[in-house]
Amino acid sequence: MSQTIFFAHANGFPSATYGKLFAALAPDFRVEHLDQHGHDPRFPVNDNWDNLVDELIHHLEQRDGPVWGLGHSLGGVLHYHAALRRPELYRGVVMLDSPVLTLADRLVIRAAKRFGFIDRITPAGRTLGRREAFDDHQQARDYFAGKSLFRRFDPDCLDAYVRHGLAPGDQGLRLKFDAATEIRIYRSVPHRAPGRPHQLQVPLALVRGRHSNVVLPHHARLVKRVPQGEYLSLPGGHMFPLERPQETADLLKSVIGRWDGRQEPHP
């Protein structure tokens, strides 16, 4: 019988973009997810992502039992905060290139918000004025394939982003993930958390892309304070789950299998 992973995506990347990763996790795991975080008017984006955590908790509460929480970037932080608040909803949490922030990190973020330079230390500045409209899917794919963020994507993952990340607009296609929402998420990046790492009551694994400029080696110090915490890495940058979906799935199966007290998940 398969177990349940509840996945949360990176900012700007609808969950369907990760379809190849989900397929690689089957049949051992059934992956559930929201299509897009931050787009439910009941849970508008606010500072420190508190409402986004509320949104995630709301959906986890609808389930019959605890899940394995899996999140990439934004999604990993949401699961981490939710698990600090509601550990009974989780069996464990895996953060894919999502930083557990040190005190120094949080002080810098708080100052950046207060003094107006948050766009310089998050991707918000690069998101402003980004192209949002395309004539067709091929034009969009050619455009994104030339961008450094997408250059190392698995081809199937790039196709999935183009297919699921765009929706019909007034003329042609537009990005499905609302650009203003994406910018608000970046500008409200948390400078505080609902608890400290040593208070986390479930297993936590932080998996870093070895060439990531988001999760850095100093973040490992806080993960080591988690009673059941571990710090791992895979080749690639910040987007490694979409660059190496099969390797990511293999690592996840190993980690969760070990947490579950066995070498391999149940068939």
Alpha helix ranges (H) inside the chain: 19-25, 50-60, 74-85, 103-115, 118-121, 124-127, 137-145, 155-164, 179-187, 220-223, 240-243, 245-259
Domain borders along the chain are 3-259
Provide the token pair at 122: 């998050």
| Intervals of the chain under pLDDT 70 | 1, 262-267
pLDDT confidence of residue 207: 98
Classify the phi-psi angles of 14: left when phi > 0, otherwise alpha if psi is within -120 to 50, otherwise beta: beta
Question: How many Å apart are CA 166 and CA 160, to the nearest integer?
Answer: 10
Superfamily of domain 3-259: Alpha/Beta hydrolase fold, catalytic domain (3.40.50.1820)
Question: How many Å apart are CA 149 and CA 36, to the nearest integer?
Answer: 20
Q: Please tell me whether residue 206 adopts helix, strand or coil conformation.
A: strand
* 51 C-beta neighbours (distance < 10 Å), count: 17
pLDDT confidence of residue 170: 83
Sheet holding 173-175: strands in order across?
A: 133-134, 173-175, 166-168
Residue 81: Cβ-neighbour burial (10 angstroms; 0-12, 13-18, 19+):
buried
Contacts of residue 89, Cβ cutoff 8 Å, sequence gap at least 6: 57, 60, 61, 63, 66, 67, 82, 83
Residue pLDDT, tens place only, 157-209: 999 999 999 999 888 999 999 999 999 999 999 999 999 999 999 999 999 99
Give the strand pairing for 67-72 and 204-209: unpaired
pLDDT confidence of residue 1: 60
Q: What is the dihedral of CA 190, 144, 206, 60, to 10 degrees?
A: 70
Provide the token pair at 166: 């765009």
Evaluate whether 181 touches 37 at the Cβ level (below 8 Å): no
Evaluate whether 137 touches 143 at the Cβ level (below 8 Å): no
Question: How many Å apart are CA 184 and CA 123, to the nearest integer?
Answer: 11
